[in-house]
Structure 1
């Protein structure tokens, strides 16, 4: 079985030349969609997404609380919407980065998100990791 690679190119869809991806890449794409979606964005699936966008501009949340809330929300979303994985372990680490644009130095944050698990049908290990840059937070 082959899976569609996202984003889907409309021209490719019309001409019947849609790009395909592997089973593992399909799982990774689904996890990335969960990360970048905010709650309520997907009609009929109000819990689809993650806590990241609920906390993005919050100035009263400690870094450890932010990490824990995002980690818990992603673990719940993955267990609910990505049922091809078992034994899912989610790790979220928030860190600061300095962006120097020659005039000002801006402090931004990045979240290192790692998902480990086991592919249900094959018992093979699964690993996914990404960086998400977060708008400036005052903490």
Structure 2
């Protein structure tokens, strides 16, 4: 495996100017790859149809039970990370749904969104260091 890791998004202007790509460290590279897994829909990757996660299928699903939804998404993400991110092991994924309410008094609108907090804990294979990744996504908004 390559020891060179690059930051995203790629700055093609720098690349075409001959400056090369901006390097990054191992932890940031792993985080970038996990984000790519989260934001990729199944069958979107031409050569690996199972690359990605189930959030795109679950996003518009009517959430009857938040705990069942969280567990389906957690299992999907854990499987994808285990299958495609080889630089970490002992991976644990946690998913939590909360509701966020935004009130816009001038427009007399209340917006309720589902927020999904995702955290990944693991160990880095080459160093044995603890690795932690956290992000949040907003699902389809409801407005009144």
Q: Identify the TM-score tier after normalising by the shorter chain.
A: over 0.9
User: When the two structures are superposed, what TM-score results if normalisation uses the length of structure 1?
Assistant: 0.93
**Higher gyration radius (CA):** 2
Q: Which residue of 1 aligns with 2:139?
A: 134
Distance 2:65 2:14 in 1: 45
Match of 1:8 among 7, 10, 14: 10
In the alignment, what sits opposite 2:113? 108
Give the corresponding residue for 1:40: 43
CA contact (8 A) 2:63 2:69 kept: no
- 1:20-35 matches, within 5 Å, as 20-35=23-38
CA-to-partner distance for each residue in 1:54-103, whole Å, 9 max, x for gaps? 01011154211110011001100000100100100000001100022332
Which 5+ residue runs of structure 2 have no aligned equivalent? none
What's the TM-score once normalised by structure 2's chain length? Answer: 0.90
Residues 96/59 of structure 1: CA separation in 2 closer, same or farther (3 Å cut): same
The match for 2:22 among 16, 19, 24 is: 19
> Counterpart of 1:80 in 2: which secondary structure?
helix
Q: How many residues align?
A: 137
C-alpha spacing 1:60/1:97, structure 2 compared with 1 (3 Å): closer
Structure 1 segments of 4 or more deviating over 4 A? Answer: none
Deviation string, structure 1 residues 11-68 (Cα, Å, up to 9, x no partner)? 1221233211101100000001111111111111111111111010111542111100
Q: Could you tell which deviates more after superposition, 77-86 or 1-10? A: 1-10
Residue in 1 that maps onto 2:62: 59
Report which structure shows greater RCO (CA 8 Å, sep ≥6): 1
